[in-house]
Amino acid sequence: MQILLDIASWLLLIAGSSFALIGAVGLIRFPDVYSRMHASGITDTLGAGLILAGLMVQGGLTLVTVKLILIMVFLLYTSPTSTYALANAAYSRGPQPLLGKRESETPSPVTPENEPS
């Protein structure tokens, strides 16, 4: 039984870490501020969610699991709020979004507007 729980928890942890990693890759590959926010959204939701789920399996039916659930709830309320603040600020004062189709092997050429810092 313990071994099954361990396997389930490890699968969840690995899946969560993979999504966090995919979010990081997207952060590098996407062309501008706004599209990069979508990539960080993956790390925020499924990445963090699956890692916490994996830890909950380790925690079992204890107060630790309750605290992990509450961490998840706080994360789900605060992360969209901060993303909204960032997006709103960027749209008001920062670079305007790059729109339209952009299928290419490499990201769009670096110009002063979208130069990664």
Partner 1 sequence: MLHAISLGIVLYGTWLLFSGIYTPLLMGLGAASCLAVVGIAHRMDVVDREGHPIHLGWRAITYWMWLTIEIVKANIDVARRILDPKLPIDPVMVTLEASQGSELGQVIYANSITLTPGTVSIRVSENTILVHAIATALADDLKSGAMDRRVTAMEGPGPRRLEDMG
Stretch binding partner 1 (CB under 8 A), from 4-12, 41-49, 53-61, 109-117: 41-49
Output the smallest distance, CB 5 to partner 1, in A: 22
Q: What is the DSSP letter of 80?
A: H
Q: Give the range of 2-10, 51-59, 94-102, 109-117 binding partner 1 by CB under 8 A.
A: 94-102
The residue from 67, 71, 74, 113 that contacts partner 1 (CB under 8 A) is 67
Tokens of 112: 């002063």
How far is residue 7 from each of residues 60, 64, 69, measured CA to CA in Å?
14, 19, 20
**What tokens were used for 42?**
């993956």
User: CB pairs under 8 A, 24+ apart, for 78-81?
Assistant: 79/41, 79/44, 79/45
Binding site for partner 1 (CB under 8 A): 19, 22-23, 25-26, 29-30, 32, 34-35, 37-39, 41-42, 45-46, 63, 66-67, 70, 76-77, 79-81, 83-84, 87-88, 91, 97-105, 107
